[in-house]
Amino acid sequence: VLNDKFRGMRIPDAADLNEYNGLDKVGSHYAVGSNSVLNKPKLDGEKDVNSFGLIVERISQGYYKQILMPADLAENSIYTRTYAGNVWHDWIKLETELDKGTLINNGEDLNDYYGEDKMRKYYAGGGNNVKNKPAGTNAFGLIVVRVASSYYRQLLFSSTRQVEEKVYVRVWNASSWSEWQEIGNSKQGINLQLGTLDWSAKAFSVATERNNFEITGDECKAVYGKSAYGGTHYLDVIPGEEYTVSFEAKADVAYANDDNTVIMQYFSENRSERVVFKWLTATLTTEFQKLAFQITVPNNSKIKYMNVGLRATNDVNTSVTYKHLKVERGYVENPVYSQAPQDIIDKNIELENKITTLEERIAQLESKMEV
């Protein structure tokens, strides 16, 4: 019979990993679900770790090491830290080959890139002759995820950063691949703004700001008199860069003249200083209308980030409702709303996790029935 220390001991919710040093903690541990365990690492410095496995090892007299492995299927990294001098040092993310991306060799066929063994990040360099990539594609990055049992999705990114960048997606339906579908092209850029289809917490620079609004489906309402005000998540920008900001908006009371709709905000390196801001104005009616603004990041060397501030107008006593916010690089005529690629990936991962959980439950039931 395996000792519990090697089989895995469950970490209680709200336990503090700083207390996981000492001989009594050496061994294997795990935490499940959206736990509130303290002093665990942040994925990429922002996202909370949910389920994870933890190994605690003694490496010398009074010295211990923790090795933490997130259960998130999209997170293939390992985190480690050391207890020395009676203190825990910072978590360090160990870069793995999967983090860096796996090279697709010349002559390989993207039609073969499905299945659990292919779920990871890839890249191909310029001048490659990889088969069944989208027509006209040169260097690219590729992500393969599972979206259902025996169903997989490929998301392919072109190598350029400018507005002409392209993103393609297709699905393996357990027997064949669909055609590549382009979701970013020379006239329509990629949406850099996260979470605007359902206005999730990741749409905002501070997740709790979502609570200041009334969210209904794809609509986000800034309620007059409620002091509704929130900036969207921070975007890395360079002074002088050009962007197009588009969205649909309506007011409970129509504006008689041009008035404020949203505010473009520009922040310094630490995000605590708003260096510059500028209101975007328009005439709003009680029906949704599409608005698009071409903006240029002010030429101020202190500016490192930009976001879009949503709020009810001060000049007219009315609430304002927004939907389909899109921020894209370059000046784009007649912009068309599309989700941010990361939103598509996150939804696929969420679906995959639900499927995995369901499969585990089915297996447990089958096991009980056999008994």
Report whether pLDDT(25) > 70. yes
**Cα–Cα distance for residue pair 48/200, rounded to 1 Å:** 16
Q: What percent of the chain has pLDDT over 90?
A: 26
**Cα–Cα distance for residue pair 307/325, rounded to 1 Å:** 12
Residue-wise pLDDT tens digits, 53-77: 888 888 877 889 898 888 765 556 7
| Cβ(213)–Cβ(222) below 8 Å | yes
- Pairing mode, if any, of strands 102-103 and 121-124? parallel
Report whether pLDDT(14) > 60. yes
Residue 349: pLDDT band with limits 50, 70, 90: low
Tokens 């129509």 correspond to: 254
Residue 323: pLDDT band with limits 50, 70, 90: very high
User: Distances from the Cα of 22 to the Cαs of 28, 29, 38, 83, 86, in angstroms?
Assistant: 13, 14, 18, 10, 11
**Better pLDDT: 2 or 231:** 231
Supply the pLDDT for residue 244: 93
Residue-wise pLDDT tens digits, 181-219: 776 544 557 788 888 888 988 888 888 788 888 999 899
Report whether pLDDT(311) > 90. no
| Nearest of 184, 188, 182 to residue 133 by alpha carbon | 182
Report whether pLDDT(91) > 70. yes
Report whether pLDDT(35) > 90. no
Q: Is the C-alpha dihedral spanning 185, 204, 286, 245 positive or negative?
A: negative
